Amino acid sequence: MSNASDDSVSKIRVSSNRLSKSRPRPIIIDTDPGQDDAVAIMLALACPEEIEVLGITAVAGNVPLPLTVKNALSIVQLCQRTDVPVFAGCDRPMVRPLVTAEYVHGATGLNGSGLGDPAQEAADGHAVDFIITTLLAERDQKVTICALGPLTNIATALEREPAIAAQIEEIVMMGGGLFEGGNVTPGAEFNIYVDPQAAAIVFGSGLALVLMPLDVTHKALTTPERIEAFRALGSPAGNCVAGMLGFFERFDVEKYGSVGGPLHDPTVIAYLLDPNVLTGRLCNVEIETESELTMGTTVIDWWNVTDRPNNCLVFGDIDAEAFFALLVERIAFLTH
Q: CA separation (Å) from 320 to 11, 84, 86, 262? A: 19, 29, 30, 10
Q: What, of Ca ion, ligand BDR, none, does residue 183 touch, CB below 5 to 8 Å by kind?
A: ligand BDR
Q: Does 265 bind ligand BDR (CB under 6 A)?
A: yes
Q: Which CB sits closer to ligand BDR, 215 or 265?
A: 265
SS3 readout for 92-153: CCCCCCCCCCHHHHCCCCCCCCCCCCCCCCCCCCEHHHHHHHHHHCCCCCCEEEEECCCCHH
Q: How far is the CB of 191 from ligand BDR (least distance, A)?
A: 5
SS3 content of the chain, % helix, strand, coil (to 5): 40, 15, 40
Question: What's at 40, amino acid-wise?
Answer: A
Q: Which CB sits closer to ligand BDR, 38 or 157?
A: 38
Select the span of 30-38, 64-72, 200-208, 283-291 touching ligand BDR (CB under 6 A). Answer: 30-38
- Measured distance CA(197)–CA(232) in Å, rounded: 43
Measuring CA to CA, which residue among 298, 267, 9, 299 is closest to residue 148? 267
Binds Ca ion by CB under 5 A, chosen from 109, 112, 149, 243:
149
60: left (phi over 0), alpha (psi -120 to 50) or beta: beta
Q: Which CB sits closer to ligand BDR, 197 or 304?
A: 197
Q: How far is the CB of 148 from ligand BDR (least distance, A)?
A: 5
Q: Which CB sits closer to ligand BDR, 79 or 101?
A: 101
Q: Is 218 a catalytic residue?
A: no
Select the span of 111-119, 129-137, 183-191, 202-210 touching ligand BDR (CB under 6 A). Answer: 183-191
Interface residues with ligand BDR (CB under 6 A) are: 34, 36-37, 62, 101, 104, 148-149, 174, 183, 189-191, 264-265
Interface residues with Ca ion (CB under 5 A) are: 32, 34, 37, 148-149, 265
Q: Which residue numbers are catalytic? A: 264
